[in-house]
Each structure stands twice: as structure tokens, then as C-alpha cells.
Chains A and B, each alone.
Chain A
């Protein structure tokens, strides 16, 4: 299990939190067999990020395990108050999320 603070850039610690964004691009294959790599990628996001964007444009293959992982991630971020967005919105992603009942979680609502 990797430490969460792997990022090279360090946030400036000041009394006013500055808005920080991070983009995580999902690779083409995020299925069960590559899920470990994706988890490491997600866990590597520093805790003080305020906006996280999941870039789905390169994504080609994913399965329920992928959505479960992203759901866990989304829930973690929601509890921290981070905004989670997805870009490269793919209909297949949304449809799968709907089928698994995870739409609300992924949108940060549950």
C-alpha cells in the first residue's frame, strides 16, 4: 500500500487554502488485472487537493472492479469535501455506473 503523499509538488501551507486541482487520466485498460495500478494512481493524490478531475478520454476497457474502486475514491473525496469531476464523459461509463447503482456515488452525492 503506497503512502498518499507521493506527489512531487508540495502545497503551500498558508492560512488561506489555495484552490488546487489535479487531473488523473485513466489509462486504456483499467480492468481487474490492471486495477492495482489505478488504485496506486488514485491514492497518490495529495490530501489537500480541492478539485479532482478524472480524465476518461483514454479509457477503453473497464469493469465492475474499476467502478467499485472509483466509487470508493469518490466517497473518500466527498468526505474530504473535494470536488470530483469527470471529463471525456463517456456514455458507456455513465451507463455502467447506472447499471451498478453507483451514479450518485460517483457524482459525489452519496
Chain B
């Protein structure tokens, strides 16, 4: 399934927006559909040296080099499997330098749901866990809670290896 990427902030402007939900462990998360480029089955990635533990490496997405982030690891799971049904959700975010793509490994995707921004409740103070930083809010859908993530914050500064400075620190 592929979708063209549009400005993800459109979702926050009052109209009904669409959210792709997926499962990690027993929590359901959601991200704005406009960011989603593609959903792929699991393929092997090439490791990147000195990358944080949740960045598995990079893969070849139709000729572009795309980093892959394991959301399960990022949110604290320890025992993760890579099975034929593991999926990678490829998203596109806008950064200062232009559009960037990356992939997120999740346990499986669920449905696409419609949400209204007024139904989104702010996230309670969840402490400083990795997931907390990228939570946009919470919403109740059909009896279950969906945690809405801000894709732009998923691949945060600490996930991209910085330049020479990190060398010196590691040295």
C-alpha cells in the first residue's frame, strides 16, 4: 500500500483526519496517514556503525537509502522478533533540509480510522520515556485507546549520528 505524502500538519487543522493504527505489544498507536509512504514486509537491513540501539540500519527503498527504526525497541520492548509478518511502515517527514524518509518496524498494522481533532486528549505525564517525547495525544476509538504519535519527533536528534563530535565522545 502506498500513499503520496502531503503536509502532515494538515491533520491538525480541525478537519477530520485519517490515522493509520498499528500494534506494538498490546498498545495501539496511530500516525497521520499523509506521512505514510508505504508498508513493506520485513527485509534485512544493513547495520550502521555507532547507531543507537533502536536504529537497526538502512535499507534500499527503490534506490534510496532509508534508515529503519525499530519502534518496539524504542518503546522499551526487549524481546523482539523479526518474522515474515513483521512490517516496516515507511514514512516521510519534513525537516529543515527537505523531505526525509525512514522506516518503522512494528508488530502489525491495523485499520485506518477517522478522527476529529477535538476528540484528541492531551497525553498525561508519562515521564521521560522514549515514547513520551513523541506522543501527540490519546483518543478513544471503539472502546480502545489509541496513542497518537508525532512522526516528526520519532527520528529525533539522538537517533541520527552526529558528526565528529560524537567521535570525540566515543574516543
Q: Do chains A and B touch in the complex (CB under 8 A)?
A: no
